[in-house]
C-alpha cells in the first residue's frame, strides 16, 4: 500500500500560505453540512475542540472516549500554560518569533509551514478560551497575565494557576456539552476504538468496544478524526494517565497510516522521582516552576548532607553554570540530559540518588511566600501529598520522566494521514514539534488543530470527495469486527502465569534503559531483540482474569500492551535508523565535545515515516525531506 509522501503545502510566502489555502479550498455549503457525519475519537483538547467546532458548523458528530466523561481526557493534567504571540508584555514577541522558537526548539526536524500556521493561530486560541470563560490569571488592572517557559526569552505563556490544561479542557468540554444537548454531538463514553474501517481506500468508520457491557459496535461516517493522544505509556512509567495508549493510532498504522518519527519522545526534566517497584505512574511538576526554582546538586560526589546543610558555594547550579543565557529555562531535552549526567557522576540526591534539587528558597526570600503560593500553590500541595515533604521548607527532589511524544501518525498540511479521510490531531500526530516540544506548546497545538485547522481542511476534503454509498453491513465492517473479536478471545484464552502489568513493566524497563534519554546502536539492537522475545512470551503466557462481557480493566490493558509491544520495536528501529542526535533523540555516538546533541542536517533533515508491511515483517521507512526556506539551520545553543 505505497503512498507517495506529499505534504501538500500551499504555495506562496510562508506568512501567506495558510491564507492562500483558505482562499483556495472548497467549502461545504451550510445547508449541506448536516448531511455529513464525522467520527471524532478522543475528547482531549484536540478532540473536544474539533467535535464542538464541527458540530457548531452543522456537521453531525459522533464522539468517543474511554473514560466515563469527555472531561477526563489526559489534557486535563497539563499544568503550566499555553503559548501565544500576543506580545501583551511588550517584550519583543511576534508571530515570527514564536514560529522561530518552536522550529528551533524542535531542533529543525519539523515542517516550516505547519509550525508557522501554529504560531499564526495561537492568538485566536486565547481569544476563544477567554470567551468561553476560562479563568486565566490576571494582572491587577484586569488584563491577562503572562509568564515565561523553557526555550523562550519572552513571557508568552498564558496560564490558570497550575491547572491550565484542566481549564482549557473544561472550556472545550463545555462547548461540547452545548452541542450534546442539541443532539449535534452524540457522545459515546466508556468506548474504546479497536480498529479503523477502510472502504475502497477511504477511512469510513471504526469498531468500538463498550467497556461496560463488552458489546462490539460498528460506526460509519464520512471521515474519522483521531485525537487519541501520545504513546508515552510504552515506557510503563510516564506522566500519562493509566488509560493513555497507542491502540487507536496503532490500528490505523496497521491499516496503512504511516507512523512518523516514533523515536522522538520527550523526557520532562522535573517529575517526582520513583519511590518503589509498585510505582504506577510518574507525576509531573510543571516546567513553570523553573521560572522561580533553581536546579542544583552538591558539588562533591557522594555528598549526602541534608540540602539545608549544604552552603551555597558547595552547590552546583549546573544549568545556570553551563547555559548563562537561558539558565534554568533551557528546553526540556537539555535539562533532562544534564540531570542524568549529574546523577551518573554520583552527585544525585535523595534515597535512590536518582534525583536533583529544585530549590525555591531564593525566590521565597525575594518575592515572599504568598507570591510563590499564588503562582504554584496547588503544585506545592501536590508535591507534599505525594512525598510528605514541604517545598516551602526543603527543596523539591525531581528527576526526568517520559512525558510527551513528538512522534505520531504522519499527516500532511491538512492534518490528513496517508489514509484518505483519516485525520489526526493533537499529540497523536507528528507534525509541529519536531524532535523536541517546547513547554506550553502542546496545549496550543491541540486547540489550534481542533478549533482553527480541521474545520477548514475537513471541509475541503468533504467538498472534494465523492464517497461510495455504504453502511455498517459492508464487508469491511464485518471483517474488522471479526478481527477485533478474535483478538479479544485469543487474549482471554491464553490463561498463562504472568499478569498484564508484569509484562508492561518489563517492556517499560527495556524501553527506558535502551530507548530512553541516551541511546546507542548496541542498546537499540538489543532492545529490538528483547522486545520481540517479550512479545512472543506475552502471547503465550499472559493471564487475564474475568470475561469480555463485563467491565474488565485488565482486558482493556492487555489489548493496549499488546500494541505497545509492537510500537516499542518500531521506536527502537527508528532510533537506530536515525544516525544523529536531535532534540529528545540522543545517540551517544553523535555528540559534540561538551555533550550536546549533534545533528546531521545533510543526511537526516527528514521525517522518517514508517509503513507497516505485515506481521513479523520489517517495517519500511519513507523520507519526507524537510525544506527550510525561511530559517537557517544552526546548532541549537542555549548558552
Partner 1 sequence: MSDSMTIHLRVWRQAGPESKGKFVNYTVADVNSHMSFLELLDVLNEQLIHAGDDPVEFDHDCREGICGACGVVIDGVAHGPQQRTAACQLHMRHYQDGDMLVLEPWRATAFPIIRDLVADRSALDRIVAAGGYVSVDTGSAPDANSILISKNESEGAFDFAACIGCGACVAACPNASASLFTGAKIAHLSGLPQGRPERKERAVAMVEQMQKEGFGDCSNHGECEAVCPKGISIAAIAIMRREYMKAKLA
Rg of the chain, C-alpha, whole Å: 24
Q: Which of 545, 579, 592, 639 lies at the binding interface for partner 1 (CB under 8 A)?
A: 545
Cα torsion 413, 419, 425, 429: sign: negative
C-beta of 154 vs 160, nearer to partner 1: 160
Question: Quick count: other Cβ atoms within 10 Å of Cβ 269?
Answer: 31
Residue 90 makes contact with partner 1 by CB under 8 A: no
- Restricted to residues 274-313, the positions that interact with partner 1 (CB under 8 A) are 275-276, 278-281, 283-284
What is d(CA 106, CA 110) in angstroms, rounded to the nearest whole number?
Answer: 7
C-beta of 242 vs 321, nearer to partner 1: 242
Q: Which three cell numbers stand for residue 511?
A: 524501553
604: left (phi over 0), alpha (psi -120 to 50) or beta: alpha
Residue 135 makes contact with partner 1 by CB under 8 A: yes
Start-end of H helices in 295-368: 318-322, 332-344, 361-367
Q: Which of 22, 26, 138, 353 lies at the binding interface for partner 1 (CB under 8 A)?
A: 138
Residue of 161, 251, 322, 332 marked active site: 332
C-beta of 334 vs 555, nearer to partner 1: 555
CB of 3 to partner 1, least distance (A): 31
Relative orientation angle of helices 17-24 and 112-132, to the nearest 10 degrees: 80
Residue 491 makes contact with partner 1 by CB under 8 A: no
Q: Which three cell numbers stand for residue 463?
A: 467538498
Q: Which of 8, 392, 479, 551 lies at the binding interface for partner 1 (CB under 8 A)?
A: 551
C-beta of 386 vs 478, nearer to partner 1: 386
Residue 74 makes contact with partner 1 by CB under 8 A: yes
What is d(CA 481, CA 473) in angstroms, rounded to the nearest whole number?
Answer: 11
- Indicate if 332 belongs to the active site: yes
CB of 374 to partner 1, least distance (A): 8
Nearest to 44 by CA among 445, 440, 563: 445
**Binding pattern for the stretch 448-477 against partner 1, x by CB under 8 A and - elsewhere:** ---xx--x----------------------
Q: Which three cell numbers stand for residue 607?
A: 521525517
CB of 301 to partner 1, least distance (A): 23
Output the CA–CA distances (angstroms, integers) from residue 598 to 36, 151, 390, 531, in the order listed: 49, 18, 39, 28
β-bridge partners, 315? 298
- Restricted to residues 193-222, the positions that interact with partner 1 (CB under 8 A) are 212
On whether the CB atoms of residues 269 and 335 are closer than 8 A, the answer is yes
Q: Which of 47, 48, 70, 256 lies at the binding interface for partner 1 (CB under 8 A)?
A: 70
What is d(CA 469, CA 485) in angstroms, rounded to the nearest whole number?
Answer: 26
Single out the segment in contact with partner 1 by CB under 8 A; choices: 156-164, 216-224, 322-330, 486-494. 156-164
What is d(CA 101, CA 213) in angstroms, rounded to the nearest whole number?
Answer: 48
**Binding pattern for the stretch 36-65 against partner 1, x by CB under 8 A and - elsewhere:** -------------x--xx--x---------
What DSSP designation does 75 have?
Answer: G
Look at strands 620-625 and 606-611 and give their pairing: antiparallel
**Binding pattern for the stretch 232-271 against partner 1, x by CB under 8 A and - elsewhere:** ---------xxx----------------------------
CB of 546 to partner 1, least distance (A): 6
Q: Which of 304, 385, 468, 618 lies at the binding interface for partner 1 (CB under 8 A)?
A: 385
On whether the CB atoms of residues 622 and 5 are closer than 8 A, the answer is yes
Nearest to 626 by CA among 117, 5, 151, 18: 5
CB of 232 to partner 1, least distance (A): 13
CB of 265 to partner 1, least distance (A): 20
Single out the segment in contact with partner 1 by CB under 8 A; choices: 159-167, 289-297, 299-307, 616-624. 159-167
Residue 598 makes contact with partner 1 by CB under 8 A: no
Residues contacting partner 1: total by CB under 8 A: 83
Amino acid at each position: 500500500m505505497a503512498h507517495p509522501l506529499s505534504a501538500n503545502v500551499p504555495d506562496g510566502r510562508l506568512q501567506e500560505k495558510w491564507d492562500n489555502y483558505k482562499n483556495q479550498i472548497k467549502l461545504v455549503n451550510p445547508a449541506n453540512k448536516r448531511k455529513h457525519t464525522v467520527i471524532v475519537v478522543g475528547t482531549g483538547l484536540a478532540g473536544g475542540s474539533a467535535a464542538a467546532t464541527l458540530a457548531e458548523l452543522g456537521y453531525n458528530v459522533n464522539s468517543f472516549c474511554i473514560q466515563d466523561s469527555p472531561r477526563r481526557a489526559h489534557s486535563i493534567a497539563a499544568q503550566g500554560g499555553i503559548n501565544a504571540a500576543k506580545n501583551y508584555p511588550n517584550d519583543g514577541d511576534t508571530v515570527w518569533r514564536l514560529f522561530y522558537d518552536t522550529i528551533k526548539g524542535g531542533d529543525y526536524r519539523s515542517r516550516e509551514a505547519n509550525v508557522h500556521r501554529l504560531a499564526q493561530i495561537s492568538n485566536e486560541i486565547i481569544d476563544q478560551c477567554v470567551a468561553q470563560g476560562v479563568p486565566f490569571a490576571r494582572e491587577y488592572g484586569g488584563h491577562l497575565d503572562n509568564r515565561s517557559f523553557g526555550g523562550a526569552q519572552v513571557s508568552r505563556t498564558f496560564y490558570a494557576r497550575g491547572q491550565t490544561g484542566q481549564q482549557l479542557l473544561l472550556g472545550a468540554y463545555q462547548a461540547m456539552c452545548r452541542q450534546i444537548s442539541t443532539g449535534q454531538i452524540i457522545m459515546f463514553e466508556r468506548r474504546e476504538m479497536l480498529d479503523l474501517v477502510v472502504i475502497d481506500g477511504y477511512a469510513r468508520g471504526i469498531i468500538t468496544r463498550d467497556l461496560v457491557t463488552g458489546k462490539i459496535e460498528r460506526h460509519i461516517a464520512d471521515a474519522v478524526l483521531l485525537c487519541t493522544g501520545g504513546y508515552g505509556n510504552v515506557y510503563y512509567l510516564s506522566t500519562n494517565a493509566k488509560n493513555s495508549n497507542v491502540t487507536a493510532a496503532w490500528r490505523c498504522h496497521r491499516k496503512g497510516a504511516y507512523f512518523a518519527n516514533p523515536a522522538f519522545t520527550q523526557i520532562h526534566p522535573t517529575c517526582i522521582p520513583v519511590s518503589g517497584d509498585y510505582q504506577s505512574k510518574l507525576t509531573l511538576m510543571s516546567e513553570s516552576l523553573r521560572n522561580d526554582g533553581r536546579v542544583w546538586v552538591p558539588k562533591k560526589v557522594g555528598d549526602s548532607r541534608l540540602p539545608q546543610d549544604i552552603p551555597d558555594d558547595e552547590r552546583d547550579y549546573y544549568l545556570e553554570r553551563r547555559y548563562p543565557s537561558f539558565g534554568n529555562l533551557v528546553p526540556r531535552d537539555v535539562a533532562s540530559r544534564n540531570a542524568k549526567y549529574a546523577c551518573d557522576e554520583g552527585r544525585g540526591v535523595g534515597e535512590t540518588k536518582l534525583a536533583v534539587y529544585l530549590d525555591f528558597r531564593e525566590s521565597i526570600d525575594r518575592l515572599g511566600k504568598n507570591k510563590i503560593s499564588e503562582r504554584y500553590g496547588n503544585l506545592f500541595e501536590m508535591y507534599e501529598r505525594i512525598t510528605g515533604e514541604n517545598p516551602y521548607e526543603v527543596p523539591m527532589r525531581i528527576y526526568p520522566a517520559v512525558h510527551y511524544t513528538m512522534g505520531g501518525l504522519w499527516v500532511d498540511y491538512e492534518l490528513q494521514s496517508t489514509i484518505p479521510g483519516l485525520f489526526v490531531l493533537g499529540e497523536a500526530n507528528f507534525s509541529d514539534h519536531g524532535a523536541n516540544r517546547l513547554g506550553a506548546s502542546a496545549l496550543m497545538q491541540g486547540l489550534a488543530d481542533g478549533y482553527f485547522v480541521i474545520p477548514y481542511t475537513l471541509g475541503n476534503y468533504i467538498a472534494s470527495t465523492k464517497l461510495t454509498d455504504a453502511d455498517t453491513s459492508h464487508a469491511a465492517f464485518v471483517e474488522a469486527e471479526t478481527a477485533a473479536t478474535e483478538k479479544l478471545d485469543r487474549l482471554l484464552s491464553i490463561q498463562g502465569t504472568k499478569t498484564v502489568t508484569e509484562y508492561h513493566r518489563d517492556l517499560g524497563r527495556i524501553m527506558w534503559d535502551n530507548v530512553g534519554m541516551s541511546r546507542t546502536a548496541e542498546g537499540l539492537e538489543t532492545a529490538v531483540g528483547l522486545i520481540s522475545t517479550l512479545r512472543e512470551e506475552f502471547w503465550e503466557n499472559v493471564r487475564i482474569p474475568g470475561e469480555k462481557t463485563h467491565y474488565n480493566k485488565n482486558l482493556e490493558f492487555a489489548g493496549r500492551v499488546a500494541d505497545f509491544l509492537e510500537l516499542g520495536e518500531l521506536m527502537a528501529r527508528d532510533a537506530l535508523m536515525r544516525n544523529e542526535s536531535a532534540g529528545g533523540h540522543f545517540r551517544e555516538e553523535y555528540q559534540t565535545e561538551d555533550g550536546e546533541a549533534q545533528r546531521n542536517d545533510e543526511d537526516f533533515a527528514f521525517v522518517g515515516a514508517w509503513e507497516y508491511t505485515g506481521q513479523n515483517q520489517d517495517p519500511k521507512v519513507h523520507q519526507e525531506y524537510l525544506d527550510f526556506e525561511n530559517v537557517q539551520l544552526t546548532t541549537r545553543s542555549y548558552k
